[in-house]
Amino acid sequence: MADDKKRMYLAIESGESAQPFRWSAGTYGSKFLTEIRDNKKFWGIKCPECGRVYVPIRSVCGPCYREMTELVPVSDEGTLITFSVVSFGFVDPSTGLQRPVPYGYAVIQLDGADSYLIHFIDETDPEKMKAGMRVRAVFEEDGKRTGSMMDIKHFELIRE
Amino acid sequence: MAAKRVGIVGVGMTLQSSARRDVYGIELINEAVRAALDDARMTRKDIDAIVIGNMDHFEGINYVDTWSVDGSGALGKPIMKMTTGGTTGSTVAMGAYYHVASGMFDRVLAIGWEKNSESDTTGAIITAFDPFWDRPTFGGAVAGLALEATQYMAETGATEEDAAYVAVRDRKNALNNPYAHLRMELNIEAIMGTPYLAWPVKLGDMCPRTDGACAVVFASEDIAGDFPNAPAWVHGVADRHLWAYTSDPYVNQHVKGGTWFPAMERATAELYGKVGITDPLEQFDVAELYLPYSFAGLRYMESLGFCERAGAPALVRSGATDMGGKCPVNPSGGVLSSNAIGATGLLRVAEAALQVQGRAGDRQVPGASLALATGFGGCYWSDELVIGIEKPERNRG
């Protein structure tokens, strides 16, 4: 009966057509991504009022509502703030491909930054991760970096 | 000019289910609107303005306010669309409330709806976030919430079993709600036995994806007495939308004086101050909270002031939030039982209204007169409303 009902109600598919977008990274976003692509270096941006350093980079400090222009170097090493291990399968809407699972997923504070960023982490056993652990960025090989956050392959736990 | 006091005089909701293949989106909206109008003994002609909301890219229809005018009843009337992520339904409620409180409209219809069956929900949620900094690694609501759950357990000693208690409670409550999507009696072992989606969040900890709609009629104090149902009065509202990127909300917890969930805590401070709430557990008779997964039923209770930091596992395990407890949470079964995203926040408000009106059927909390309703979404955004059967002395905002 349930199958009969399913057959009774029609649906149409949107089809294979894609509607690509082209987003501008802006002045500071471009600088941030270019530095990662060309020099494997992280930069943050500093608020002239509160002194907070933001990564991901942005041009307005929300709390102070001040324009930021001062770029400051930030380390490619940092601290694990919190994490998960993603194991359910889903299609990444940016690529149309299954996101490879399981993968470690983490909130990371780079040394020298006051804000945090999210990225992959090279560990899929939650028992082996703990907030406060040290992490380091692992970059894509030279020639393969294109100017996106995926130029960082993942972060790795620094195992002493 | 003082703002008008505003009452809820009609509520309509559809059956919430995994796929409402029997209705087109416009028809789903119409089902909820007809139910709300019937409930208030009104016709389409009586409505002065409409506020509608959903997450348009979940259905891929970008012109919902115009596209749905036949079903919503907005043909030839002022209409506004509001889209704020998970908070959409509660934002719609607040938008309708602002319309009426302004004195410019007497009868405003709020509509929230979603057909999550029409797209991939995780993919759609990912595309609600920043294409540079979030999307490449974000895993949708499940993965984002898991980060919070990990942190909560690490800092408080709470366990996955503590969270499972919340999932058991809400799903059991849903047995009393004929409109709910998941209606199942499970125990903690059953929740613990479900597979991890994103450690430490398991399938049993997570809300479903649902098709459904809800509609609510808001009326001015000048005419709110003209309806068959006693008005459920809006005693106050507050909302905070903080943070741009998915990693931002964690920052505040590690700076001096940092808290769990600053958007919720700031909205709560404003709302409780306006309404006069000093002890929510004692003063609210019932709460309909946007808890999208089980761990939210721990951590958010702390941000809403129901207990001290790290006190939520003991609070929920005491039974205080169960049916028959001091302040039952989610008699409807909540978001863990039905999550048609654009409808979800409005359903919390609708359920709160039904409770204080004494019209909640098998899920009624006996004698409920004051209720808290919340919406959650986006990067830890928070909408909150207090609904009561007593007419407030004035509009407190």
Of B241, B274, B219, give the one whose Cα is nearest residue B88. Answer: B241
Q: What is the mean pLDDT of residues B146-174?
A: 96
List of chain B residues whose C-beta atoms are within 8 Å of the C-beta of residue A5: 21
What is the per-residue pLDDT across B61-93, written as a single tens digit (0 to 9) for each? 989 999 999 999 999 999 999 999 999 999 999
Q: Cβ of B120 under 8 Å from any chain A Cβ?
A: yes
Domains B6-120+211-226 and B128-208+236-386 share a fold: yes
Under DSSP, is residue B163 helix (H, G, I), strand (E, B) or coil?
Answer: helix
Give me the pLDDT at residue B162, please: 98
The residue among A22, A30, A86, A108 with the most chain B CBs within 10 A of its CB, best to mutate, is A86
Cα B364–Cα B366–Cα B369 angle in degrees, nearest 5: 95
In chain B, residues 211-250 whose CB comes closer than 8 Å to chain A:
242, 244-248, 250
Q: What is the mean pLDDT of residues B351-380?
A: 96
What is the per-residue pLDDT across B258-276, written as a single tens digit (0 to 9) for each? 788 999 999 999 999 999 9
Q: What is the reported pTM?
A: 0.97
Q: How many CB pairs under 8 A join A and B?
A: 127
Q: Where are the domains of chain B?
A: 6-120+211-226, 128-208+236-386
- Give yes or no for a contact between B169 and B316, defined as CB atoms under 8 angstroms apart: yes
Omega of the bond leading into A56 within 30 degrees of 0 (cis): yes
CATH 3.40.50.2300 correct for B6-120+211-226: no
Tell whether the model's pLDDT for residue B38 goes beyond 60: yes
Determine whether the interchain pair A115/B247 forms a contact, defined as Cβ–Cβ distance below 8 Å: yes
What is the per-residue pLDDT across B326-343, written as a single tens digit (0 to 9) for each? 999 999 999 999 999 999
Q: Which CATH number fits the domain B128-208+236-386, given the four candidates 3.40.47.10, 3.30.360.10, 3.40.50.920, 3.40.50.2300?
A: 3.40.47.10
What is the per-residue pLDDT across B1-34, written as a single tens digit (0 to 9) for each? 689 999 999 999 999 999 999 999 999 999 999 9
Give me the pLDDT at residue B251, please: 73
List of chain B residues whose C-beta atoms are within 8 Å of the C-beta of residue A21: 131
Q: How far is B271 from chain A (nearest CA, A)?
A: 21
- Give yes or no for a contact between B302 and B260, defined as CB atoms under 8 angstroms apart: yes
Cα A109–Cα B298–Cα B174 angle in degrees, nearest 5: 130
Reported confidence tier of residue A159, pLDDT bands at 50, 70, 90:
confident
Average pLDDT, chain B: 96
Facing B120 at nearest CB: one of A91, A116, A118: A91
Tell whether the model's pLDDT for residue B241 goes beyond 80: yes
Q: Cβ of B143 under 8 Å from any chain A Cβ?
A: yes
Tell whether the model's pLDDT for residue A7 goes beyond 90: no
What is the per-residue pLDDT across B311-323, written as a single tens digit (0 to 9) for each? 999 999 999 999 9
Q: Cβ of B350 under 8 Å from any chain A Cβ?
A: no
* pLDDT cut 70: percent of chain B above it: 98
Tell whether the model's pLDDT for residue A1 goes beyond 90: no
